[in-house]
Structure formats: C-alpha cells, structure tokens
Amino acid sequence: MLVLSTGAVTAHAADDSASAVATPSSATSSSEILKAVNDEPVATEVPAQGAKPVEKAATATSRAEYVTMRARWRDRLIATKPDMSDPNVKAYLTDLAAQSQTLWATMDRSANRSRLWPKKSSDTTSADYTSMFTNIKMLTLGYYNPVSQQHQNPEVYQAIIDAIDFMETAKKYNGSYSTGNWWDWQIGSAQQL
C-alpha cells in the first residue's frame, strides 16, 4: 500500500475553499505522520486565498472513509490475496518482485546520501524527482507483494519511510521549492504517492 505519503488528501468544496485530511502540526517525520494519520486523523480546512489552515479533529466517519480509501488504493495496485493460478497475475507479481529487488539492491540507504538511486541520464532535474518517487512506489509495492523478497520486511518499510523523509527534507519536495517542468512537481511526483 503506497499511503506512506506526507502529503494531504484534498477535496475542493463548491465555495472554492478546500478540505483536506492532514496530520497534526506536531508530527515531524513520516513515521510520526503515519501514526497520526492512522491513529488521530485531523481534518483541515484551507481557505481559498491561502489563509492559515484551521485544524479540527476528524470524525469517526471521515476516519473510516480514509481507511477505506487507502485499502482501495492498495488493492488497486496489488491485491491482498492475489490469484496465483492466473498466469497474468503471477507474471505481474514476478516482474514486480524483480523490479523491487533491483531497487532495493541499488538504493543508497547511507546516512550521508545525496540521492536515493543513481540518476538516469535521460532525466531532467524535475523528471529525476518523478523517477525517485516512482522507485519508492515500486519498492513499496514490493513490500506488499507476497512473492517479493522485500515482502513485509521491516527494514524495507523503514527504508521507504526514510526515503520519503529524504525527499521532503534533503530534496525539498515540501512545497517550498521547484525547478524545471511543473508537471513533475504537480502531477508526476505526487501521483506516485
């Protein structure tokens, strides 16, 4: 399941304001954010003209809807109980496991890293962000893939959390910085999360 995101899920209201599921402002890392989203969701109203958001406690209904949304998103990408007798499903999961293994083997997990994976020669600076988030997504799918060597591995889970933190802090994918093509910032990278 790729809901390892530090971003908020936003829906726009008819009055041009936005409502979002967000995390408490006290959360400082992806793992704290996951705990906050899983344990104590907060509904945030964001006014249209960029005024300061107002946090409110989420209702039981909004929490249940968020849990349902995450489960559907995960199941859309990789079933919790895949039909291994289907040759297409088996081929997909086997290919996904191979990709995940390659990404795990090539991921820089060192404390002083400057990037997560080697840059593709064809990537622009902004496309490199999309590539890294795509790799995080593929590694996450490997974590949930029952035929993957990364399946339910706590070290892989922590590496995914650390990778998202790295992208937010070291690579500045936090809304305060952008370079190159807007598509990578607004759609390409965000879509992977």
Q: Which of 47, 74, 101 is the last residue before a domain boundary?
A: 74
- pLDDT at 47 (0 to 100): 53
Does 134 map to a domain? yes
- pLDDT at 183 (0 to 100): 86
d(CA 145, CA 93) in angstroms, rounded, equals 7
Provide the pairing of β-strand 9-12 with 18-22.
Answer: antiparallel
Instruction: Report phi then psi at 114, rounded to 5.
Output: -110, -10
Residues 118 and 95 in one domain: yes
How many domains, in total, are found in the chain? 2
Residues 96 and 181 in one domain: yes
Residues 62 and 87 in one domain: no
Kindly state the tokens that stand for 122.
């064809």
Does 1 map to a domain? no
Residues 149 and 89 in one domain: yes
Does 44 map to a domain? yes
pTM summary value: 0.66
Residue 60: give the domain boundaries: 9-74
Q: Per residue of the chain (193 residues), what is the pLDDT tens digit?
A: 333 333 333 333 333 333 333 333 444 444 444 444 444 444 445 556 555 655 666 777 888 888 898 888 888 888 888 999 999 999 999 999 999 999 999 999 999 999 999 999 988 888 999 999 999 999 999 999 999 999 999 999 999 999 999 999 998 888 778 888 888 888 888 878 7
Residues 62 and 139 in one domain: no
Nearest-10 Cα torsion for 104, 155, 28, 113: -40
Residues 95 and 142 in one domain: yes
Residues 118 and 32 in one domain: no
